[in-house]
Amino acid sequence: MSTKKLGFGTMRLPLTDKENPASIDIEQFKKMADLFMERGFTYFDTAYPYHQEHSEEAVKEAVVKRFPRDSFILADKMPILRVTKSEDYQVFFDDQLKRCGVEYFDYYLLHNLGRDRYINTEKFGGFGFIEKLKKAGYVRKIGFSFHDDAETLDRILTDHPEVDFVQLQINYLDWNSIAIQSGPCYEIAKKHGKKVMVMEPIKGGALVKLPEAALKKFDDFYKPMNDPMLTPASLAIRYAASLENVQIVLSGMSDLEQLNNNTCYMQNFKPLSEEEYKLVDEITEILNSTGTIQCTSCRYCTEVCPKNINIPEYFGLFNMHVVTGNKSNMYYERFSMNHGKASDCIKCGLCEKNCPQHINIRDRLVDFAALYEQQ
């Protein structure tokens, strides 16, 4: 089955009650699935915890029961955070087959791997389990979704060359981000010969509502073309889809209008032009220009820190919050594994003496601790 590059992510489905994530509007989801399939798109992505554990059942109602099994591609994910012993893998997998109403998954992932969860996944034999599923025909392709740094990804792919693909957070704002490392992670996947599925191409909506200066750049570039499908969202999704090693770009579409727009410009996908890449660079510069810490991640500070504080990664998370308003406690937990927390700083000043950018590191660590460590 040939696959267009846009995938339907089912973690932000339409709701009948906006305060209740479990209240999925099945009738609207059916209409969305119909249009998605009608326009030649086939890839649906779900996971055990989405919509308070109702996403898989919604996929069953809107897709599985209504289309031939060989007409669509379904990806699901093992909830490794909930696994406490090896036997749990089979229990969760059997439950997922039942929830989705299928006999096999086309793509199956270990969900949200990073340096912390990788330890337990190895301990309980997670990779061996999904490889066994593939050999038995219960899944066609195996992989994992990943939120961590490029070094950790390289280690996992080196340890487990048997996986077919990885799912990465990739968008133009995170491409050179010290914290997210979209670009370096993509290059690691490419080095290992693994296809990439993209999540968060619009960074949870942050790349849809651009600040005024960035929006002006966007409008000045696209207005002469007079094409309503050329939006900030389309630029972000096409950016991810333009990467050669990317197989699918997932979009968590919440209503029929979003799905209509996405499928219109992705139906006959055109990669970004050289001029559009320049526009992306200009928008990124604007997004990163206000209130961020100008750390280049040279790591000279960490070479002399007596508390082994992961300063560049913490500053990357701080910058992400400044630009988008989002705060990722998950990343902080991972970046602080085997490292000192920001509040462990003893104000010795060795880091600042070693910093080529002359950043007031001690003060900025206080700011970071106030953001991430105080409840």
| Distance of alpha carbon 132 from alpha carbon 104, whole angstroms | 13
Closest residue by Cα to residue 262 from 249, 277, 275: 249
Interacting residues of 121 by C-beta distance below 8 A, sequence separation 6+: 80, 83, 110, 113, 127
Residue 108 parent element (H or E): strand 105-113
Q: Which domains does the chain have, with CATH numbers?
A: 6-282 (3.20.20.100), 300-372 (no CATH)
Closest residue by Cα to residue 299 from 278, 288, 314: 314
Interacting residues of 160 by C-beta distance below 8 A, sequence separation 6+: 127
pTM recorded for the entire structure: 0.87
Q: Which two tokens stand for residue 291?
A: 């209130």
| Distance of alpha carbon 324 from alpha carbon 173, whole angstroms | 10
- Per residue in 208-234, pLDDT (tens digit) is 888 899 999 999 999 999 888 899 999
- Per residue in 121-172, pLDDT (tens digit) is 999 999 999 999 999 999 999 999 999 999 999 999 999 999 999 999 999 9
| Distance of alpha carbon 153 from alpha carbon 332, whole angstroms | 17
Q: Which two tokens stand for residue 159?
A: 């340890």
- Pick from 21-35, 166-180, 212-226 the range whose average pLDDT is largest: 21-35
